[in-house]
Structure 1
Amino acid sequence: MTAMIREPLTDPARLNRVGDPDRPGMRRGRRLFKWLLGSDPHPTPGQMASIRQAMLAGDPLADAVVAMYHRLPAGQGRKLLDQALEQGLHTFDDPPEELTALFHQIDHEPIWLDRAQLRLACEVSHRVGLAGELVLRNLSLMGGYLAAAAAKPLAFTGELDRMANRRLVETGKFWIDVTTPGGLERDRDGFKSAVRVRLMHAQVRAMLLKSDKWDPAWGHPLNQWDSMATILEFSVIFLSGLRSLGFLFSKREREAVVHLWRYVGYLMGVDERLLPACEADAMRALYQVIATIGESDEDSRRLGEALARASLQDSGDGWLAKRLGRLEYTLRAGYTRYVLGDDAGDKLGLPRTATKYVWPAQIPLRLGAELVRKSVPSVNRSLIRLGERARREQFPKRVQRLKADTSFTPVNKLAR
């Protein structure tokens, strides 16, 4: 028997996931962001109403395509999507209305899109090498688990250890695709991966709404506010994590990274009214995400522990490999505690470790290297090439080792 879709929440006042932006713990952060921005980023009553509404909103265009999937024989909907992505809507005699509406949006190139900024953002992403993976995994993804309601879609997939590795591989492929120079051109992998991830999210959203596990008081699953916050994880949070290691970025480079992820967010169905247009917008949005974040819970801890254990599972066989895996696990946990603090580390179930002091200790060396890089253009170009080669070589090995799926196909069952 088909499960009944639970009635979606329409009254923002009934949301139980919204943190109080005026809580005492926000005072220091408010002062810091006010100093960084030169203005007060604290959400106004009108902005709080907009935030709550965004927590109740899905992605109508992608959701309609998924509803179309359910009306067709199994697998047929995905085939139609792939045809539209790979060959274009013009190859259909009579394309479904849902696909036409979706591709009308994604094939419309925004007037604000700057391809030169996309290229610069890709160079920045390459230049930082494997440090970028550290930050994405142990700050961006790990920090996202602190918001219990936003993390529920992942928690409900079950088999968290296996799913942690799958998410790392899927996120890695997605990131590589969209940060490859030219990757966001219409016929390239970055563009296609962004759209496929968007449809995967819509499929997960539909599964959750049909299940009896989703509490409407958490808002809409994979809603607009959480989706915008995910864009921040790849842009200003990514840059902040790298700067905490001693990396230096010019204003032009930081704006380019925000611009690239603004376009990725557009392709992934994030409301343009929510997408930051510049670094200052992104930092203001980040403050508001932090100010309204809800409480962590047991699922936050389970997800954090599973993501941390991925280092142990991926270490390979043999005594030395396992010892190195354990060292990596400890160092990564230390980095998370360094950037997010011990309170967050405890909520995520991470071990308390002195390795958190390793990361700030290397800042003087990194700063010295960065000053050399900025002074010698050939060094900068070499680092871009080395970083691109490192991720091109390392990622396929990880996929093969884990026998991972990189097709962005949602898990077809929910746990618990």
Structure 2
Amino acid sequence: MSAALRADPLADDTIAAILAGYGGSQWEAIALVNRLLAQWQSNADVQGWQAPDGTPAPIAAALQAYLAAAATLPAWADAARIERAEELFFDMSMLSCSLLFCASLPECYVVPDLAGVLHVAGQLEAHCDYRVRSTAAMIFPVMMKGGLASPQGGGIAQILKVRLIHATIRHLIVRGNPAQAAGAAVPALDAPCRHLYDTLYNHGWDVPANGLPCNQEELAYTLLTFHYIFLRGLRRLGLGLAPQDEEAYLHAWNVVGHVLGIEDGLLTHDMAQAEASFAALQARGRQSPFLPDPRPALGAALMRAMQDQIPLRLLKPFPVLLTRYLCGDAARIDLALDQRVNLLSRALFGAGMGLARAIDSVVRLALPGFSICRMMTRIVGYQFTVKFLMNQTRPLKLPPALLNQVGHTVRAWGDDPKAPRWMNALEARLAGRKARRAAPGGQPC
């Protein structure tokens, strides 16, 4: 059976058992499950979790069986590689957020079926920030120190919640367990859409044409956007990692993929394999149009969300230009990012990137940590991270302890440890934040 018609039996059976075993409406059952999932705040919480008194027995049994089967790392997980990936994520800091906004998320929207699921699941043209912030709410807990391996971390707990969210989306869209829906087209319903669940349930879905929602192929492709596209973006900025570091980063995200319910046979283990898999999945996805095409609206909403965080009018086109640079011409066309950009902004971006890479390649012979490209993308990332993701009026939807950990991590990203002091001071000035005082013994030049 095609990967587009395979989903996640463990999570799907869990949701099916919950909805079948609840005496009230399925909306009430989902609301109850969401309240129970809020108790999964750390990796320690999901080990041996017991449903509180008063929980309907079918729901308690389904969730406890799910955790017993899923709340462990795979036997092939390498602690040293995971730890190295965490170090790399921390080292890239604000740059990681630039790559999330301008590479990973845009590439997610390129595949028509996947963009269609995202559109149905959240009307993301109107609520782009929901998708971005939900994604960050998983990435940070996963990639922070101890996120996957420490009882105090929150990565496993967050992944297992997302896995059940995917199963709920599948169940509502196909109106039943996906295992019984692989060959059927689900007709749309002419019924009021009072909330997201109604929207999913009423929308309709052509399974033979589009595959199952959130299917194995789409999950594997999405995983590639979070590790392979991140690493490819670093290469395109002239900041590529050593091969062993790239493989460590791929490995950590493969562990995430396994816990998320992606079949091990769909995981990739080096950049060549990841590149081939990404190209094949993207090409296959492009052959299945989803009408009306949601991709241009999704791309425009993402660009608009980024531009809103940039104060200078001259620099507002930079997210579009950086996305074109990182994702290439095909993605630019798919997402309709080929609109005219004023000549001065385009010239400033092109000259800046070209000159920066040329200077970097020369100066790094003497100062390995020097990189103007890194500084430029960190400045962009600062706007997105601090002003958007960490906006105190709309904090990420994370447990308080985990949100505090994320805040502490982001505050530690203020200075680039690889850059000389004067570059950190310049970066702080251009980003609009206060420069930190240099630590004794810091790099002076």
**TM score, norm. by length of structure 2:** 0.67
Q: Give the counterpart of 2:275 among 268, 271, 283.
A: 283
How many Å separate the matches in 1 of 2:142 and 2:33?
24
Show the counterpart of 2:69: 105
How many Å separate the matches in 1 of 2:387 and 2:327?
30
Residues 244 and 360, structure 1, Cα contact 8 Å, conserved in 2: no
CA-CA distance at 1:137 after TM superposition: 1.4
- Give the structure with the higher percent helix: 1
How many Å separate the matches in 1 of 2:294 and 2:125?
13
1:60 maps onto 2:9 in alignment: yes
How many Å separate the matches in 2 of 1:368 and 1:123?
26
Q: Give the counterpart of 2:206 among 189, 193, 215.
A: 215
Query: Which residues of 2 match residues 10-409 of structure 1 at below 5 A?
Result: 53-70=2-19, 71-72=21-22, 73-74=28-29, 75-83=31-39, 86=45, 88-89=47-48, 91=50, 96-157=60-121, 159-185=123-149, 187=151, 188-210=153-175, 211-216=202-207, 217-295=209-287, 298-314=293-309, 321=311, 324=312, 326-350=313-337, 351-353=339-341, 354=346, 357=350, 358-367=352-361, 374=368, 394-395=385-386, 398-400=389-391, 403=394, 406=397
Instruction: Call closer, same or farther: CA 1:92–1:102 in 2, change over 3 Å.
Output: same
Instruction: Call closer, same or farther: CA 1:403–1:338 in 2, change over 3 Å.
Output: same
CA-CA distance at 1:372 after TM superposition: 5.7
Residues 314 and 402, structure 1, Cα contact 8 Å, conserved in 2: no
Show the counterpart of 1:33: none
Show the counterpart of 2:415: none
Q: Which has the higher contact order (CA 8 A, sep 6+)?
A: 1
Instruction: Call closer, same or farther: CA 1:168–1:331 in 2, change over 3 Å.
Output: same
CA-CA distance at 1:343 after TM superposition: 4.3
Counterpart residue type for residue 88 of structure 2: V
Question: What secondary structure is seen at the aligned counterpart in 2 of 1:243?
Answer: helix
Instruction: Call closer, same or farther: CA 1:367–1:175 in 2, change over 3 Å.
Output: farther
How many Å separate the matches in 1 of 2:131 and 2:308?
14
Residues 174 and 190, structure 1, Cα contact 8 Å, conserved in 2: yes
Counterpart residue type for residue 163 of structure 2: R
How many Å separate the matches in 2 of 1:155 and 1:92?
33
Moved more, 117-126 or 69-78: 69-78
Residues 140 and 234, structure 1, Cα contact 8 Å, conserved in 2: yes
Instruction: Please give the per-residue CA displacement for 1:91-141, whole angstroms capped at 9, x wherever unaligned.
Output: 459784433442233234322111111111111112223222121211111
CA-CA distance at 1:327 after TM superposition: 4.5
Residues 338 and 359, structure 1, Cα contact 8 Å, conserved in 2: no
- Rg: which structure is higher? 2
How many Å separate the matches in 2 of 1:249 and 1:371?
16
How many Å separate the matches in 2 of 1:277 and 1:91?
36
Instruction: Call closer, same or farther: CA 1:368–1:239 in 2, change over 3 Å.
Output: farther
CA-CA distance at 1:240 after TM superposition: 0.4
CA-CA distance at 1:161 after TM superposition: 4.3
How many Å separate the matches in 2 of 1:168 and 1:83?
23
CA-CA distance at 1:373 after TM superposition: 6.4
**TM score, norm. by length of structure 1:** 0.72
Residues 150 and 226, structure 1, Cα contact 8 Å, conserved in 2: yes
Instruction: Call closer, same or farther: CA 1:161–1:212 in 2, change over 3 Å.
Output: closer
How many Å separate the matches in 1 of 2:13 and 2:365?
51
How many Å separate the matches in 2 of 1:162 and 1:82?
26
Instruction: Call closer, same or farther: CA 1:161–1:288 in 2, change over 3 Å.
Output: closer
Instruction: Call closer, same or farther: CA 1:107–1:153 in 2, change over 3 Å.
Output: same
Question: How many positions carry a matched residue from both structures?
Answer: 339
Tell me, which stretches of 5 or more residues in structure 1 are unaligned? Answer: 1-49, 316-320, 409-416
Instruction: Call closer, same or farther: CA 1:337–1:130 in 2, change over 3 Å.
Output: same
Instruction: Please give the per-residue CA displacement for 1:146-200, whole angstroms capped at 9, x wherever unaligned.
Output: 1111111111245434421111112122111111111112632111111111112
CA-CA distance at 1:394 after TM superposition: 4.1
Instruction: Call closer, same or farther: CA 1:164–1:252 in 2, change over 3 Å.
Output: same
Instruction: Call closer, same or farther: CA 1:361–1:148 in 2, change over 3 Å.
Output: farther
Counterpart residue type for residue 76 of structure 2: W
How many Å separate the matches in 2 of 1:118 and 1:189?
15
Counterpart residue type for residue 299 of structure 1: P
Counterpart residue type for residue 135 of structure 1: L
How many Å separate the matches in 2 of 1:189 and 1:372?
40
Moved more, 158-167 or 245-254: 158-167
RMSD: 3.2
Question: What secondary structure is seen at the aligned counterpart in 1 of 2:131?
Answer: helix
Instruction: Please give the per-residue CA displacement for 1:73-105, whole angstroms capped at 9, x wherever unaligned.
Output: 543323444556625336459784433442233
Percent identity (aligned)? 27
CA-CA distance at 1:253 after TM superposition: 0.5
